[in-house]
Amino acid sequence: MATPKQAKAVKTAVKKYKNYIGGEWVAPSSGQWFDNVNPADTSDIVGRFPNSGREDVDRAVAAAKEAATRWRRTPAPKRAEILFTLGEILRKNKEAYTQQMTREMGKVLKEAGGDVQEAIDCTYYTAGEGRRLHGFTTPAEMPNKFAMCVRQPVGICGLITPFNFPMAIPSWKLIPALVCGNTVVLKSGEDVPLSALNLVKACEEAGIPKGVVNLVNGERDAGAALVEHPDVRLISFTGSTATGKKIAEHAARENKIVSLEMGGKNAIIVMDDADIDNAVEGSLWGAFGTSGQRCTASSRLVVHKKVYKKFCEKLVERTKKLRVGSGLDPKTEVGPVINERQMDKVLGYIEIGRKIDKATLACGGNRLTKGDLSRGFFIEPTVFTDVKPKMRIAQEEIFGPVTCVIPFSTLDEAIDIVNGVQYGLSSAIYTQDVNRAFHAMQELYTGICYVNSATIGAEVHLPFGGTKGTGNGHREAGTQVLDIFSEWKALYIDHSGKLQKAQIDEVEI
């Protein structure tokens, strides 16, 4: 055991990271720092990060304001060129970022690599918009008059991100904001500050001018200060529905633009004609990938009564075999959950499932503490069967390695079950029948729908977002994200040389 002195030496050896404001790496004015802890081994401190306050946010917003005109006036293809360089830097450092992400967030190396890859894909794809950013022309009502529409940046954007996709989600906001000509202040999830810092450092290396990208580390207060800042025109938020609603209330009072990507309670329908083995594999991946901490996690499996028994047996058998451990071990299939609070929340839901909902706990249900696992936040992959659609575990977002199997008799009943929650992010159906697949695609009221695949695995060139409690009508990724980070300007050019009054003057033909 380390003596107190040795322990102190270890503690002081932990690297301190800074905020990035106006092109400089600066300590927080509060003088406060927080530890970034490895969720697989809480004795491993990944780094110490600024616990920023309002003053730091004010400085970051001032820097973004100062840089705004120059960046807005930089031609979009030139902005894109810098972003392509950024893509190269991300690609070059993918392995190092992946390791660091697994250490701070816990997801297994392959998935962390996928997260970094998503940031790379997003950067290349969205940078390409710098040579498009299409507007349109349209006929004018009057002769010798020209009409067209262009996109213009919105101004200073506050980007607030969660813990579960530490580099991908910041990139989904940052890159489109930049290509559209905005300047930004980023506040990433407090459990995963290193991945966002890696992204911002890469922006610096790529040559993005000072003040265009600013990073303020911190917790809820830093996020709230960003939302409340009068110079921040737009808030792009991804996180829980509870936080998103608070942000939306404030944004509404101040008339800010706000885009919200929030919780999910996604479901896979397994029809009686499905390839059961394929459906089981998809369900395992959808439910337990990222330890169930995906907004698109397959937390409900809605299974036809005719194949219910067979499906449940296979699912439970496979779930029991999943290898849980540190994500840094390449053999691990399911890593830890992010922190103690989240672990307690998930274990609390398992108790609700057993004692209040009285569903059948088919496997899992416990914290794992054997050997090295005692140092982290590990939960057994858990399957509840005989779940009824209105039970709490089938309605509320658990955000952990827990899934519920719900039996049904007809496709329309299954569709009602899938749609019968407050969220509307992702859904899926396993079937060999094209008519059933198209009926489900038409009737499932979610932002994303998969056929013969799990509810997870979105690609960056398609729009991403959800209906109902998941979002507020915006879509990230694809070209649709440009509608968040730019506003339309309608331009009328009258070259008739005289006053022409639209809607009033008669046009002679």
Residue 111 is a binding residue for ligand NAD (CB under 6 A): no
What does the alpha-carbon distance between residue 160 and residue 310 come to, in Å, rounded to a whole number? 43
Q: Which is nearer to ligand NAD, 219 or 416 (CB)?
A: 219
CB of 88 to ligand NAD, least distance (A): 27
CB of 201 to ligand NAD, least distance (A): 19
Tokens of 58: 């004010």
Tokens of 61: 């917003």
Residues 267-326 that bind ligand NAD (CB under 6 A): 295
- Alpha carbon separation from 400 to 238, 252, 285, 372 (Å, rounded): 18, 32, 13, 20
Burial 268-304 (b: 16+ CB within 10 A, else e): bbbbbebebeebbebbbbbbbbbbbbbbbbbbbbbbb
CA dihedral 434, 439, 444, 450 (to 10 degrees): 10
Nearest residue to 235 (alpha-carbon basis) of 158, 178, 140:
158
Q: Within 13 Å of residue 140, how many CA atoms lie on the same side as its CB?
A: 18
What does the alpha-carbon distance between residue 268 and residue 427 come to, in Å, rounded to a whole number? 6
Stretch that binds ligand NAD, among 78-86, 241-249, 272-280, 326-334 (CB under 6 A): 241-249
CB of 464 to ligand NAD, least distance (A): 6
What are the residue ranges of helices labelled H in 1-160? Answer: 4-13, 54-73, 76-92, 94-105, 109-127
CB of 219 to ligand NAD, least distance (A): 5
Stretch that binds ligand NAD, among 65-73, 238-246, 378-386, 435-443 (CB under 6 A): 238-246
Residue 469 is a binding residue for ligand NAD (CB under 6 A): no
CB of 310 to ligand NAD, least distance (A): 31
What does the alpha-carbon distance between residue 459 and residue 310 come to, in Å, rounded to a whole number? 32
CB of 194 to ligand NAD, least distance (A): 14
User: Which one of residues 53, 264, 389, 401 is an interface residue with ligand NAD (CB under 6 A)?
Assistant: 264
Q: Which is nearer to ligand NAD, 10 or 252 (CB)?
A: 252
Stretch that binds ligand NAD, among 146-154, 223-231, 268-276, 409-417 (CB under 6 A): 223-231
Residue 247 is a binding residue for ligand NAD (CB under 6 A): yes
Pattern 396-415, binding to ligand NAD, x per CB under 6 A? -x-x----------------
Q: What is the DSSP letter of 444?
A: -
CB of 291 to ligand NAD, least distance (A): 12
Tokens of 12: 């002081």
Instruction: Note whether 169 and 508 are within 8 A (CB).
Output: no
What does the alpha-carbon distance between residue 261 and residue 306 come to, in Å, rounded to a whole number? 36
Residue 158 is a binding residue for ligand NAD (CB under 6 A): no
Residue 28 is a binding residue for ligand NAD (CB under 6 A): no
Residue 378 is a binding residue for ligand NAD (CB under 6 A): no
Q: Which secondary-structure segment (H or E) carries 261?
A: strand 257-261
Tokens of 398: 């658990």
Instruction: Note whether 338 and 191 are within 8 A (CB).
Output: yes
CB of 164 to ligand NAD, least distance (A): 5
Pattern 415-444, binding to ligand NAD, x per CB under 6 A? ----------x-------------------
Q: What is the DSSP letter of 485?
A: H
Q: How many CB atoms lie within 10 A of CB 38?
A: 21
Q: Which is nearer to ligand NAD, 63 or 425 (CB)?
A: 425
3-state secondary structure of 259: strand
User: Which one of residues 470, 474, 475, 477 is an interface residue with ligand NAD (CB under 6 A)?
Assistant: 470
Backbone angles phi, psi at 242, to 5 degrees: -60, -45
Total residues binding ligand NAD (CB under 6 A) = 30
Residue 243 is a binding residue for ligand NAD (CB under 6 A): yes
User: Which one of residues 219, 275, 329, 494 is an interface residue with ligand NAD (CB under 6 A)?
Assistant: 219
User: Which one of residues 85, 98, 164, 427 is an interface residue with ligand NAD (CB under 6 A)?
Assistant: 164
Residues 317-376 that bind ligand NAD (CB under 6 A): none
CB of 145 to ligand NAD, least distance (A): 43
Q: Could you list the active site residues?
A: 261, 295
Rg (CA), the chain: 25
Residues 172-211 that bind ligand NAD (CB under 6 A): 187, 189-190
Q: Which is nearer to ligand NAD, 233 or 304 (CB)?
A: 233
3-state secondary structure of 443: helix
Residues that bind ligand NAD (CB under 6 A): 160-165, 187, 189-190, 219-220, 223-224, 227, 238-240, 243, 246-247, 261-264, 295, 397, 399, 425, 466, 470
